[in-house]
Amino acid sequence: MGSAWAPPSISGDFLALLGRQALASPAAPASPGAPVETQATTVFAFRFSEGVLMAGDRRATAGNLIVTDQVEKVIALDATSLLAIAGVPATAFEMARVLQTSFEYYRRSQLQPLSLPARVRALARLLRDNLPMTLQGVGVVVPLFAGVDTTVTPARTQIYFYDPLGAQFQAVNHAASGSGSGTIRSILAFQERHGAPRPETMSADEAIAFALRMLMTAAEFDTATGGVNPAASHFATVKILRPEGVESVTEDRQAAVLTR
């Protein structure tokens, strides 16, 4: 008699599953006649008294053209992870969808959530897989990631930033990416060293107002940053990550904190 059939082992690695099924995105050579890429900027994250605030303007540009002011650049990957995209939205959004599916696939197949280090490495792996496109100057993504570390008591939120080749770095208190990131980093560094209140002591409403005003300032020095203009109903994408989960900050709340 033949041997009994055994089901294939389930490792919980969704990215490996895509590779085995030949479903991974193939690399494509750049063309001199290719259209100007759409770019998304500016995003940042910083630690405040309750967790991590991650925000981004909503502008996407193609060269000197404004494509739209309605891009959502901060994405909840699961209940305890946030991704902020800077770079080519088409590539970044595809990475976000793969990560969302990967995290959920692992949770369902292994009956437990993926650890924070594994989630951080999963994004690094996607960036490395995108290396051929990055080296050709197309599809470049420079994201930020925030997640909750449940291996410590009490659980603690962490911020990570990446280079286009997939190297990952843990930020102590803040990180920024995109064309307006220089202005944002300068403001955050000054506020941490000399400002009052310091970002890590701010309440949620103080942190939201601070983030929106930083985007207003960045927009004054960078045409690719859409900024915030309540009079024109132009707001940012703002999400807060606490150990308990993710909260999206509505436009009404953004308008309210700016008028206080």
Q: Could you list the active site residues?
A: 41
Which 8-state DSSP code applies to residue 62? Answer: E
Are 48 and 207 within 8 A, CB to CB?
A: yes
Report the C-alpha gap between 207 and 47 in whole angstroms. Answer: 9
The angle, 0 to 180 degrees and rounded to 10, between the axes of the packed helices 116-129 and 89-110 is: 140
Q: Which two tokens stand for residue 153?
A: 């008591």
- For residue 102, give the 3-state DSSP assignment: helix
> How many CA within 13 A on the CB side of residue 43?
33
DSSP-assigned beta bridge partners for residue 134: none
Q: Where does residue 219 rank: exposed (0-12), middle (13-18), buried (19+ CB within 10 A)?
A: buried
Report the C-alpha gap between 201 and 198 in whole angstroms. Answer: 6
Q: Which two tokens stand for residue 132?
A: 């051929």
Query: Virtual CA dihedral for 186, 191, 194, 196, nearest 10 degrees?
Result: 160
